[in-house]
């Protein structure tokens, strides 16, 4: 299953003894050639498919229209300040809207949210997104999912160009928690934790 956003990491500069990582904000060239990756991209794509991760819907407003996409590249960045980071493929339908947005919603999904995850994972189901039964759609906040393990309103602090993707760093301004088990992306499908 292909998601609109997924993590990409090329090169082996992070391994001990290799060249140091380059600060993305410095404008310096990376210590490897992005156009001749050191591993076969298809093989590396398979390696990424083996990485189990939680999934989240990132949402924002495009004027008066709610927009959003599913990400499997979300991670907590810090507690103080309360920050997430996630990566979005530049070809994703909501990428450019998210780049322009000042705020977004982040809903980390539970195993009960698989149908909603499928709606946001596939562009062919985009017409089914943002049902008022499942979403709070008010001008005062980013579109807010009524389900999920967590729903967070965020300010978008940084957008970092990362080649085929943009890395977003966001700071939470409000958080709501709901007990449950996480929905997990693994091997191009959704999985549930065995209890």
In a domain, 4, yes or no: no
Does residue 97 lie within any of the structural domains?
yes
Answer whether 56's CB lies under 8 Å from 182's CB: no
Q: Is residue 55 part of a domain?
A: yes
Q: Is residue 105 part of a domain?
A: yes
- 159 lies in which domain range? 24-192
Cα radius of gyration (the chain): 17
CATH number at residue 42: 2.30.110.10
- What is the domain count for the chain? 1
Would you say residue 7 lies in a domain?
no
Q: Look up residue 41 and give its DSSP letter.
A: H
58 domain-assigned: yes
| Other residues' Cβ atoms within 10 Å of the Cβ of residue 28 | 9
- In this prediction, residues 156-182 reach a mean pLDDT of 96
Q: In the predicted model, is pLDDT for residue 182 greater than 50?
A: yes
Q: Is the full-model pTM beyond 0.85?
A: no
Least confident of 6-15, 140-149, 164-173: 6-15
How far apart, in whole angstroms, are the C-alpha atoms of residue 69 and residue 122? 9
Residue 103 domain flag = yes
Q: What is the rounded CA–CA span in Å between residue 68 and residue 58?
A: 5
96-139 pLDDT, tens digit each: 999 999 999 999 999 999 999 999 998 888 899 999 999 999 98
In a domain, 19, yes or no: no
Please, which contacts does 191-194 make with residues 24 or more away whose CB atoms are closer than 8 Å?
191/52, 192/111, 193/111
Please spell the DSSP secondary structure of 78-136, one letter per residue. ETTTTEEEEEEETTSTTHHHHHH-SEEEEEEPBGGGHHHHHHHH-GGGGGG---TTTEE
């Amino acid at each position: 299953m292909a998601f609109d956003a997924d993590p990409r990491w090329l090169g082996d500069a992070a391994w001990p003894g290799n060249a140091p990582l380059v600060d993305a904000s410095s404008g310096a060239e990376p210590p490897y050639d992005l156009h001749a990756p050191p591993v076969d991209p298809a093989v590396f794509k398979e390696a990424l498919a083996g990485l189990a991760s939680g999934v989240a819907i990132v949402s924002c407003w495009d004027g008066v229209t709610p927009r959003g996409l599913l990400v499997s590249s979300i991670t907590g960045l810090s507690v103080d300040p309360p920050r997430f980071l996630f990566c979005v493929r530049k070809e994703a339908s909501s990428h450019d809207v998210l780049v322009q947005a000042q705020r977004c919603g982040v809903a980390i999904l539970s195993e009960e949210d698989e149908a909603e995850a499928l709606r946001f994972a596939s562009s062919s189901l985009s017409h089914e997104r943002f049902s008022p039964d499942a979403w709070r759609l008010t001008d005062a906040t980013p579109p807010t999912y009524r389900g999920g393990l967590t729903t967070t309103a965020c300010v978008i602090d940084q957008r970092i160009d990362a080649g085929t993707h943009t890395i977003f760093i966001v700071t939470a301004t409000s958080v709501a928690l709901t007990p449950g088990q996480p929905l997990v992306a693994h091997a191009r499908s959704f999985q549930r934790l065995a209890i």
